[in-house]
């Protein structure tokens, strides 16, 4: 009996190894950066930066297509793309900003310092919306059609060329 007890940990370890091995063989380890494209916006509500009132994400495109930009005050590439967002705002492009894993006071300071390009700024303090959207890092920008479906995604800081591509998508999205 004591001999079986000595071998039991090895048997359990081998069984767990086989289980994890079979799981890994059937799983796709690749990140799918466009996974949300063609899917509806997650059914979540986030507090707005100013009053903290909950804003349902699915309703943000009700007035027409919108760009949704995940950003953070601690994100250096977000500062790099900020002038592009300000130029889009000057062209009357509607952008909803989601502050990803950021303290509201830091987000407000960031926007006070660089300017606020957002029609609405929302707070994703715990990163849940980022997970639901499939955000792999900030900044990331999504084109959401009036029907609430994600039409396109851009990962990394927007350049003027990237912004033009997304704005062209806004024009193609039916209102």
What CATH number does residue 106 fall under? Answer: 3.40.30.10
Q: Is residue 2 part of a domain?
A: no
Q: Is residue 27 part of a domain?
A: no
H or E element in which residue 172 lies: helix 160-172
User: Looking at residue 31, what is its pLDDT?
Assistant: 44
Query: For residue 168, what are the domain limits?
Result: 45-172
Please determine, for residue 142, whether its predicted confidence score (pLDDT) is greater than 50: yes
Model confidence at 129, pLDDT cuts 50, 70, 90, reads very high
Give the chain's domain count: 1
Q: How far apart are the first and last CA of the chain?
A: 75
Paired tokens of 42: 């997650």
Q: Is residue 19 part of a domain?
A: no
Per-residue CA distances from 46 to 1, 18, 59, 122 (Å)? 59, 42, 11, 6
Per-residue CA distances from 8 to 1, 18, 46, 67 (Å)? 11, 15, 50, 57
Q: Is residue 167 part of a domain?
A: yes
User: Looking at residue 8, what is its pLDDT?
Assistant: 73
Q: Is residue 50 part of a domain?
A: yes
Please determine, for residue 30, whether its predicted confidence score (pLDDT) is greater than 50: no
Outline where DSSP puts E strands in the chain: 45-47, 54-56, 66-71, 95-100, 120-124, 140-144, 150-155
Least confident of 7-21, 53-67, 104-118, 124-138: 7-21
Q: Is residue 110 part of a domain?
A: yes
Please determine, for residue 112, whether its predicted confidence score (pLDDT) is greater than 60: yes
User: Looking at residue 61, what is its pLDDT?
Assistant: 85
Residues 6+ apart with CB under 8 A from 43: 56, 57, 58
Cβ–Cβ under 8 Å, residues 100 and 131:
no
Tell me the mean pLDDT in the region 83-105: 97
Q: Is residue 16 part of a domain?
A: no
Reference 121, options 68, 43, 174; nearest CA is 68
Q: Is residue 67 part of a domain?
A: yes
Reference 127, options 46, 41, 37; nearest CA is 46
């Amino acid at each position: 009996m004591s001999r079986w007890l000595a071998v039991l940990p090895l048997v359990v370890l081998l069984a767990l190894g086989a289980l994890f091995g079979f799981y890994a063989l059937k799983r796709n380890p690749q990140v799918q950066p466009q996974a949300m494209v063609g899917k509806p916006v997650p059914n979540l509500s986030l507090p707005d930066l100013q009053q903290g009132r909950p804003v349902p994400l699915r309703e943000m495109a009700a007035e027409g297509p919108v760009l949704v930009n995940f950003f953070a005050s601690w994100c250096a590439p977000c500062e790099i793309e900020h002038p592009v967002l300000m130029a889009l705002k000057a062209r009357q492009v509607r952008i909803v900003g989601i502050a990803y894993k950021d303290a509201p006071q830091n987000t407000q300071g960031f926007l006070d310092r660089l300017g606020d390009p957002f029609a609405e700024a929302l707070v994703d303090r715990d990163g849940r919306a980022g997970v639901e959207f499939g955000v792999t890092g900030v900044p990331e920008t999504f084109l959401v059609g009036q029907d609430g479906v994600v039409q396109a995604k851009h990962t990394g800081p927007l350049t003027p060329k990237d912004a033009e591509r997304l704005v062209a998508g806004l024009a193609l999205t039916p209102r």
